[in-house]
Amino acid sequence: MSTVLIIGAGGVGGVVTHKCAQVPEVFSEIILASRTIEKCETIKNQLNKPIRTARVDADEVEQVVALIRNVEPDLVINTALPYQDLTIMEACLRTKTDYLDTANYESPEAAVFCYKQQWAFHEKFKDQGIMALLGCGFDPGVTNVFCAYAQKNHFDEIHYVDIVDCNAGEHGHPFATNFNPEINIREVTGKGKYYENGRWLETEPLSIHRPFDLPAVGTTEMYLLYHEEMESLVKNIPHIKRMRFWMSFSNEYLTHLRVLQNVGMTGIDPVDFEGHKIVPLQFLKRLLPDPSSLAPTYKGRTCIGCMIRGIKDAKPREYFVYNICDHAQCYKEVKAQAVSYTTGVPAMIGALLMLNKTWRGKGVFNVEEFDPNSFMACLNRYGLPWKEQLHLPGNVLA
């Protein structure tokens, strides 16, 4: 029986709250907090289990500290913006409270995301006897666990990993993003990067792409991006030779994005407008649909998984492990679309494993550092069943 504080009431925060409420034997008390209390109340009213709500500005360490001291949670689940990871971690450190998030820190001033500043908390958390679990969403998160599971159960050495994230759904809008528009567009418009033979190689944004034939969604064009889980995985998979990340985008999405880039609307540097400083991308965010508003009419499925090659018993082996998620089914269960669902469910599972002492440690950790089998069992139990096959679908990646 545990008390959990969830900070952030967007699409992912809503899913985490719903899923925690479905497991009252672990999450006996839930507090949902956000800068916008109305969002918390909307989620609260969707639940059969009573929860508490609170207002907090997660940019302000002292406000988060005061809230934690008031509600005394066993664990803080951060589903706020990646900009706020460090302030929430600092508040957890000051209050000696365990911490979990779904995405690594990003600076508002620069479109750079990495774990360096969060990993720097390791010794401080260790000294206080508390634990932080980083990147416990789907990618990062489940994809990390998929790799750890493959390493433990199917390979002696993993040499090549290609992470594939395909959303074949349709939301009916000319242009919209599946999660926070500012974070999404910064990620997509940044340079690509992948790991090969001990070094990181950069590519021009969206310049490398190819078709993938994937289960349940068919053949779709996938684009090479940099994604944060690779940073920890290349440290924790000892024999890795190459790791890449691929994501799908529709032609309509890419056309709109190209136009917005050409007119400067995706910029993150402030510009003068009628005597005010505005950030174009932040203004664009206000014009685009709220990602949570897409859920009621979203149709189609996602396919996210890991294509892995390596050695088992001195012989080459190919392995594909993946999940298929249906947007409409997610909305029926928790009033969210599949992108939020696939991020929120793993966060609840990570929290459950921390609270029941299955995953424990002192310091700051990524999910692949713990035993994957218990997490994989929970995926099947709590709404994200996975499948595996001992060959790669459609094509062998060169």
Among candidate residues 77, 125, 9, the one with its CA nearest the CA of residue 353: 77
Domain 2-134 has CATH 3.40.50.720: yes
Specify the pLDDT at position 398: 54
Q: What is the pLDDT of residues 66-90, one digit of tens each?
A: 999 999 999 999 999 999 999 999 9
Under 8 Å between Cβ of 191 and 202? yes
- Where along the chain do its domains lie? 2-134, 142-335
C-alpha dist (Å) from residue 274 to 156, 265, 271, 277, 278: 62, 17, 10, 8, 10
Q: From residue 79, give the alpha-carbon distance in Å to each of 10, 13, 219, 265.
A: 8, 5, 32, 26
Give phi and psi for 263, each to the nearest 5. -95, 5
pTM of the entire predicted model: 0.94
> What is the share, in percent, of the chain residues with pLDDT greater than 90?
77
* Residue 397 pLDDT grade (very low, low, confident, very high; cuts 50, 70, 90): low
User: Look-up: residue for tokens 């609840």?
Assistant: 348
3 state SS of 14: helix
pLDDT at 395: 54
Instruction: Find out if CATH 3.30.360.10 is the number for domain 142-335.
Output: yes
Predicted local confidence at residue 293, as pLDDT: 83
Which pLDDT tens digit goes with each residue over 244-262? Answer: 999 998 888 888 888 888 8
Which residues pair with residue 134 across a beta bridge? Answer: 366
Tens digit of each residue's pLDDT (9 = 90 or more) over 316-347: 999 999 999 999 999 999 999 999 999 999 99
Q: Please say if the pLDDT value at position 111 is more than 80.
A: no
Q: Work out the burial of residue 305: count CB atoms within 10 Å of its CB; fewer than 13 is exposed, 13-18 middle, 19 or more buried.
A: buried
pLDDT value at residue 78: 98
Instruction: Please calculate the CA angle 144-150-151 and round it to the nearest 5 degrees.
Output: 90
SS3 170: strand
